[in-house]
A and B are shown apart, each in its own frame.
Chain A
């Protein structure tokens, strides 16, 4: 019985402890007087309502430090807000247009794009030439490809172009003879009298050069002439 009574008491204590845990008893009215001194009263009486005029500089410096938001609020009436919104919208539109124009200009002036854009109109001819010169097995793979597709191939363009030309003579020689043939077209007599030695060649493969500069008939005629001379 005693044990159960003790338990009940403890529970009750705990209950009250929890209930009054955050409860603060207000100090009795006379308590402050215990820690009170006549000096406090004297000072409170004299200095409690003390008033004094500060120097005018204080307001001047306070004025400069008043938050900008309080100053700006005064200026922002409803119509200034509308005007500001309109100006901002207009500026944004103009800015966007200008930006888009600048972007397109930049695309055209870009060296990579400059190279691609002019080649587009001649791509069909170029591809046609390649196809003409291609071998039969290559023809199949390259036919129908645009220049853009060819550029994107694994094989670089220059290599692709060169690989399609049969190496007859060194490139330098071919170009020289080609230039001389186009700039000063020879008539038959002149062409016949032209000696191979007169052309500045760096190769000994004269037969190949002849095959480029002379027609088949001219070569045959030349070979006949040579044979007669030998006899």
Chain B
């Protein structure tokens, strides 16, 4: 039964049940199926590759621990994504307590007109986002890519809405400055 589990691109809920039943093959199948997508999320929230791997590892441990809590309401992938975003936020909190978020007031200047975004590859964008200070990166990811509102972000990160807005604005400015530098090179 377990050895015949095939995912073929479409995730089977039976695999979740098999994982809960403690079947090692099912657990590995679940990891293999989702690890690449979840690692993409982790890479966006982490400052480097190794931190992303740490988040991925922590996230999957959480997934296996809470697998029996998944009721089948909504998509399983959506449930997984939320776990990984929350795990990333936990890492953000740890980073914030370790060192204060770097304020980059100096980057408030230029507009977006002259930016040549098309010239940049995914790798470059990832590098740019990873170079952002933790607070900027987290807010930018949540607002710009995930689509959360400032109110939701404020609640998730335990900050005020005003802080969320200002962090986003500064993140954008930092990104613009870094893109300009890349284009000049």
CA of A35 to CA of B164 in the docked complex: distance in angstroms?
12
Contacts of A48 in B (CB 8 A): 145
Set B21, B43, B67, B144: member contacting A37, Cβ < 8 A: B144
Contact (Cβ within 8 A) A51 B57: no
B145→A47 contact, CB < 8 A: yes
Interface of B is mostly: helix
A71 at the interface (CB under 8 A from B): yes
B37, A51: Cβ atoms closer than 8 Å: yes
**A74/B22 in contact, CB under 8 A:** yes
B57 touches which of A35, A47, A52, A58 (Cβ 8 Å): A58
Given the known A-B contacts A70-B27, A71-B22, are A44 and B53 also in contact in the complex, defined by CB atoms under 8 Å? no
The residue from B20, B24, B31, B39 contacting A51, defined by CB atoms under 8 A apart? B39
> Are B61 and A65 in contact, CB atoms less than 8 angstroms apart?
yes
Asked if A53 and B36 sit within 8 Å, CB to CB, the answer is yes
How near does chain A come to B77, taking the closest CB pair, in angstroms? Answer: 12
Instruction: Tell me whether B122 and A47 are in contact (CB under 8 A).
Output: yes
Tell me whether A78 is interfacial, beta carbon within 8 Å: no
B165 cross-chain contacts in A, Cβ below 8 A: 35
Question: Which of A50, A62, A74 is B23 in contact with, Cβ under 8 Å?
Answer: A74
Question: Interface extent on A, as a size class?
Answer: 35 or more
**Which B34-69 residues sit within 8 Å CB-CB of chain A?**
35-37, 39-41, 43-44, 52-53, 56-57, 60-61, 64-65, 67
B19 within 8 A of partner (CB)? yes
Q: How far is the CA of A54 from the CA of B56 in the complex (A)?
A: 9
B-side contacts of A72, CB under 8 Å = 22
Q: Which chain A residue shows the least CB distance to B63?
A: A62
CB within 8 Å for A61 and B43 given contacts A47-B145, A70-B19: no
Q: In whole Å, how far is B84's beta carbon from the nearest beta carbon of chain A?
A: 12
Residue A38 at the chain B interface, CB threshold 8 Å:
yes
Q: Write the chain A residue with the least CB distance to B149.
A: A27
Q: How far is the CA of A38 from the CA of B21 in the complex (A)?
A: 47
Task: Determine if B129 and A47 form an interchain contact, defined as CB atoms under 8 angstroms apart.
Answer: yes
In the complex, what's the smallest C-beta–C-beta distance from B81 to chain A, in angstroms? 11
B43–A50 touching, CB < 8 Å: yes
Contact among A39, A46, A52 for B112, CB-based, below 8 A = A39
Q: Does A49 contact B (CB under 8 A)?
A: yes
A-B contact pairs, 8 of them (CB 8 A): A35-B165, A46-B125, A47-B126, A52-B43, A58-B60, A59-B28, A62-B60, A63-B27
A residues within 8 Å of B by Cβ?
27, 35, 37-40, 42-44, 46-55, 57-59, 61-63, 65-67, 69-75
Measured CB to CB, the residues of B under 8 A from A are 19-24, 27-28, 31-32, 35-37, 39-41, 43-44, 52-53, 56-57, 60-61, 64-65, 67, 112, 115, 117, 120, 122, 125-126, 129, 140, 143-145, 149-150, 165, 168, 172, 175-176
List 19 additional contacts besides A40-B143, A43-B140; criterion CB under 8 Å. Answer: A37-B172, A39-B172, A42-B120, A43-B175, A44-B144, A46-B122, A47-B129, A50-B41, A52-B39, A53-B35, A55-B53, A58-B35, A58-B57, A62-B31, A62-B60, A62-B61, A63-B28, A70-B64, A73-B20
